[in-house]
Amino acid sequence: MPALARGAAVAAALLFQGTIAAQAQSWPTRAVTMVVPFAAGGGTDVLGRIVGRRLSETLGQQVIIENVGGAGGMMGSARVAKSSPDGYQFVLGSRADAINQTLYKTPLYSLVNDLDPVVLVADQPTVMVARKDLPVNGLQEFIAYAKANQGKMQFGSAGAGSTGFIDCALFNAAIGVTITHVPYRGGGPAMQDLMGGRIDYFCTLTGTAVPQIENGSIKAVAAMTRERAPMLPNVPSTWEQGFKAFEASTWFGFYVPKGTPAAVIKRLRDATDEALDTPSVQEQLLKSGSIAVSRDRRSTDYLKSFTAIEIEKNGAPIKAAGMSIE
């Protein structure tokens, strides 16, 4: 490249960086988009909308929720990873993002290299639910039924690579059964088919399942945790039902494109911090199945180290089970 052209390219890059830095000081001056990488109606979507409404107030600009489902959450996260690092798009990432880094042979993005962490938002236990007419009551009956009928059964998920897919697949491996997987583009569509009896069971976030469990349109098999989930006090845990080989829950956090100005990240983190401290938000989250993370887990540095740990932790059982998606 001629020296003049190189000089022009450098000048253009510096001008772009200077423009982004200047804009960061007054961010946001227009609507901001939160990408939810799963379909509307699922647990991730519900969580995003609860926090997003309060963020609109704390930021002084509307936070628009955009559902971009597909590939177990990768489509939405990849869209944000490739967007301009100006703070006007961020993604509600989750444990699914950490899972995808190992599960897919060629992930669409790097959670570490293409996105910057902002803040951890919430935790949510996983619950196993079944169609209401599945002839089982409780986990031990479910295990016996699955072993006897594995060739006929189907389980759903919010997509290959979603936390529900991994949790059900690892559970199936733990009890020694092979059952057909039916992937959807989010927890909402999977729940609809479970309610319609088109699939047999589903490992999902409690937020997706609480209303349907309460109205009897599906049945709860077990909270996949050591203790009962606060929002499902009448559903025994896997440990309580004598199965201590497995437990599952997920987490959610905000990520922005790599290179987003520190001032924007801090502003979004602080606004999220304020939103999560709002009693009405905490109450809505709990009713929907989520628990706002404690203040000591909300720093950007915490999410950075937590992300690296989660990629390694979730990658180990995936590799051990020989699970891989092209």
pLDDT of 255 higher than 90? yes
* Residue 54, pLDDT score: 98
Average pLDDT score, the chain:
91
The predicted structure's pLDDT at residue 7: 58
* CATH assignment of the domain containing 138: 3.40.190.10
In DSSP terms, 251 is beta-bridged to: 123
CA pair distance 104, 253, nearest whole angstrom? 21
- CATH number, domain with residue 268: 3.40.190.150
pLDDT at 36: 98
End-to-end distance of the chain based on CA atoms, in angstroms?
38
Same-domain check for residues 129 and 216: yes
pLDDT at 323: 83
Highest mean pLDDT among 51-65, 169-183, 236-250: 51-65
User: What are the φ and ψ backbone dihedral angles of 306, each rounded to 5 degrees?
Assistant: -60, -40
Residue 94 counted as domain residue: yes
Q: Is residue 211 part of a domain?
A: yes
Range of the domain at 182: 125-223
Q: What value does the mean pLDDT take over residues 264-289? A: 95
| Average pLDDT estimate for 236-248 | 90
Same domain (yes/no): 36, 63: yes
| 134-168 b/e (C-beta count within 10 Å ≥ 16 → b) | bebebbeebbebbeeeeeebebbbbbbbbbbbbbb
pLDDT in tens, 151-182: 999 999 988 778 888 899 889 989 999 999 99
In this structure, are 64 and 132 located in the same domain? no
Distance CA 21, CA 284 (A): 36
Average pLDDT on 121-146 reads 96
Are 85 and 131 members of one domain? no
Whether 32 and 112 share a structural domain:
yes
Task: Please report whether residue 81 resides in a domain.
Answer: yes
Residues 144, 175, single domain; the answer is yes
255 and 306 part of one domain:
yes
The verdict on residue 141 lying in a domain is yes
pLDDT at 50 over 60: yes
- Distance (Å) of CA 91 to CA 35, 64, 186: 5, 11, 15
H or E element at residue 18: helix 3-26
Same domain, yes or no, for 101 and 161? no
Query: Quick one: what percent of the chain has pLDDT higher than 90?
Result: 71
pLDDT for residue 6 is more than 70: no
Q: Are residue 97 and residue 159 in the same domain, yes or no?
A: no
Give the residue-averaged pLDDT of 227-238: 92
Residue 86 in any domain: the answer is yes
**What pLDDT sits at residue 195?**
97
Q: Which of 185, 206, 223 is the last residue in one of the domains?
A: 223
Mean pLDDT of the region 296-324: 91
What does each C-alpha distance from 108 to 71, 74, 309 come to in angstroms?
A: 9, 7, 20
Residue 11 has pLDDT above 80, yes or no: no
Give the per-residue pLDDT at 226: 87
Task: Tell me what pLDDT residue 23 has.
Answer: 60
Each residue of 58-117: pLDDT tens digit? 999 999 999 999 888 899 999 999 999 999 999 999 999 999 999 999 999 999 999 999
The 10s digit of each residue's pLDDT in 217-228 is 999 999 998 889
Query: How many domains does the chain divide into?
Result: 2
Domain end: 176, 205, 223, which one?
Answer: 223
243 lies in a domain? no
Judge whether residue 20 has pLDDT over 90: no
CA nearest neighbour of 89 among 63, 52, 122: 63
Same domain flag for 50 and 70: yes
Residue 281 maps to a domain: yes
Please give the share of the chain, as a percent, with pLDDT higher than 70: 93
Q: Which helix (H) or strand (E) holds 36?
A: strand 32-36
Comparing 214 with 160, the larger pLDDT belongs to: 214
Residue 246 within a domain: no
Run of H or E including 213? helix 206-215
Whether 148 and 193 share a structural domain:
yes
182 and 195 share one domain? yes
